[in-house]
Chain A
Amino acid sequence: MARVVVLGAGISGHTAALHLRRLLGKQHEVVVVSPNSNWNWIPSNIWVGVGRMSAKDVTFKLAPVYRKKGITYHQAKAVALWPEGDDASAKPKVEIEWTAPGKVGHVERIEYDYVINATGPKLNFGATPGLGPDGHTYSVCTYGHAEEAAKALDGVIAKLQRGERQRLVIGVGHGTCTCEGAAFEYTFNVEHELRSRGLRDLAEIVYFTNEYELGDFGVGGLSFKQNGFVTTSQLWTESLFVERDVRSITRAHPTKIEDGRLYYETLDGVDGVLDFDFAMLLPPFRGVDLKAFALDGSDISSEIFAPSGFLKVDADYTPKKFEEYRAEDWPSTYQSPKYANVFGIGIAFAPPHPISVPRTSPRGTVISPAPPRTGMPSGLMGRAVAESIADMLAGRSTTPQHKASMADMGAACVASAGAGFTKGTAASMTMYPVVPDYVRFPGYGRSLDDTTGEIGLAGHWMKNLLHYMFIYKAKGLPGWSFIPE
């Protein structure tokens, strides 16, 4: 009998847990450790943030799903790995601290045969003074944050209805943020809501980003064929900004945020100040506060985690210049090079380097997006690692055989630009591969046949379909495993 412990129940961790349970015999135990009792379809949080959906529309309770599936669930957060065991036994363990009502703060160590770190990001609001719900800006990273943003937006709408001009700043809260796509979606959903209420003329909307150009999205932008030309996501995105009269400040890093005032530095070393009435700025991510200890109790965190707190896996972490980046640098099995029974997936694995061109200001401030690794890539990683562990436990292999490199997988992204069955719109994009491979695809780094983009109502229907389809899948309802990641 073996025990596989999955740390985290986001898209990657939950996918891994469901597939592990499907693939492993009942003699093996699958344990999920997650501090939040709810599963959240995060891509729809932007609709919670504009009041189109409530938190209950984008979440469900994890415990009943896991009970039905035969997965052991601990509502707790992982605080330390003991991959060599501890004083009590040489069996690897993970130390957890319970967050469930009645057990809050209770600490225990649970043994594992395999552990998957899918803890996602720590929302690092502290990186920028004044950033976040405890500061002066809102977020849509969690459904709770999105509900707060929606309430604040209601306040803005009330002021607009009284004839008061308002400036809304939406974007990123640090020069190294990722998930620009989410900020883009929230920008255009807010714009759509204000326009549909006839209040758009009084509102100035500013998209504030660390991207070098609009349409970068942390993947270095896209090139695709359209009307006989190869065009770029930059041109395409800028066109949407012009159409909707959304202003932008690019290549920027917020240095400090006060009540209603944002201070920032730009890539060319210029300081700026921007006053706002409402700001939704995404935080930068880092790894959660997870430590690792050797058998003798010495701290080995720096050996298995990158300085960013993300788990080092089978990537090539040799520092390189952008021109030297290779597709092979990216991990494929997500196995820790130090401990073969430790894996890191989703946002929790340490990427070898950015995808967008890394840039720093004259002051040395990094102002360029971190690589996104959410959504479809996260699900694919979860599935691949589950399949590899199932094979190893069944004796079919001794090393992980299933691969899910971001340099050899595509991604389908649907970025909402406004909700409504006949009035909605979204940008539907596909890219292959996520990480450009200039050896396989000279010139553009990606397949021009498989990298596409279009804007329209169909995209909104697609985003809606994905919302219901992935919640259905995550609930493990009949046929769930036939729905692809």
Chain B
Amino acid sequence: MTENSSTEPVSPAEVPLAVTLAPAPTDKTLRQRKSVPLQGFRFAAVSLRMLKMIRKSHH
């Protein structure tokens, strides 16, 4: 990913994007990530997942 090979200062436009082929989220995905009701459900799911992780890690 490193593409700067100059010893001259890099101009703002020359620092590359991470990877242009990476999938960008759709508008729907972005809306879902901000939806309070849906994220409330995801919060519960993430909490349960983390509790499971914690239980596995406490010996």
* In the complex, residue of chain B having the shortest beta-carbon distance to the beta carbon of A239: B22
Q: Report the minimal beta-carbon distance from A93 to chain B, rounded to whole angstroms.
A: 32
Mask, A454-485, CB within 8 Å of B = 1, is: 11111101100000000000000000000011
Indicate if the CB atoms of B57 and A461 lie closer than 8 Å. no
Contact of A238 among B19, B40, B50 (CB under 8 A): B19
B1, A242: Cβ atoms under 8 Å?
no
- Say yes or no for A428: interface residue by CB 8 A criterion: yes
* Known contacts A204-B12, A410-B56, A458-B46, A242 near B19 by CB under 8 Å: yes
Tell me, yes or no, whether A138 is within 8 Å of chain B by CB: no
Q: Please tell me if the beta carbons of B34 and A261 are within 8 angstroms of each other in the complex.
A: no
Contact with A along B14-30 (1 / 0, CB 8 A): 01111110111100001
Complex contact A458–B40 (CB within 8 A): yes
CB closest chain-A residue, reference B4:
A272
Selected contact of B46 from candidates A270, A376, A410, A459, CB within 8 Å: A459
**Could you tell me the distance between the alpha carbons of A376 and B53 in the complex, rounded to whole angstroms?**
11
**CA separation between A402 and B20, bound complex, in Å?**
47
Residues in B with CB closer than 8 Å to A249 are 1-2, 4, 15
Q: B6, B22, B43: which contacts A458 (Cβ < 8 A)?
A: B43
Q: How far is the CA of A376 from the CA of B23 in the complex (A)?
A: 31
Query: Chain A residues with Cβ under 8 A from B17's Cβ?
Result: 241-242, 245, 247-248
Asked whether B39 lies within 8 Å of A456 as measured between CB atoms, the reply is yes
Q: Are A247 and B2 in touch, CB under 8 angstroms?
A: no
Quick one: given A410-B57, A412-B50, A450-B56, are A458 and B19 in contact (CB under 8 Å)? no
Tell me how many residues of B have a C-beta within 8 Å of chain A: 42
A317 to chain B minimum Cβ distance, whole angstroms, is: 24
Q: How many A-B residue pairs have CB under 8 A?
A: 149
- Considering the complex, which residues of chain A in the window 202-225 have a beta carbon less than 8 Å from any beta carbon of chain B? 204, 206-207, 213-214
Contact for A241 among B12, B22, B47, B54, CB less than 8 A: B22
- CB of A462 within 8 A of CB of B19, answer no
Q: In whole angstroms, what is the CA distance A214 to B4 when docked?
A: 17
Please indicate the chain B residues that have their CB under 8 angstroms from the CB of A450 in the complex.
52-53, 56
| CB nearest neighbor in B for A408 | B59
Contact A403 B59 (CB under 8 A): yes
Q: How far is the CA of A275 from the CA of B12 in the complex (A)?
A: 9
Contacts of B10 in A (CB 8 A): 272-275
B40 contact set on A, CB distance < 8 A: 458
B30 contact set on A, CB distance < 8 A: 243
Please name all residues of chain A whose beta carbon is closer than 8 Å to the beta carbon of B54 when the two chains form the complex.
Answer: 376, 410, 412, 484-485
Contact between chains at A204 and B15 (CB < 8 Å): yes
Give me 7 A-to-B residue pairs in the complex whose CB atoms sit less than 8 angstroms apart, sorted by A's number: A252-B2, A268-B2, A274-B15, A380-B57, A403-B59, A404-B59, A412-B54
Top 9 nearest A-B pairs (CB, nearest first) are: A238-B22, A241-B18, A272-B4, A458-B43, A409-B57, A458-B42, A456-B33, A247-B15, A457-B39
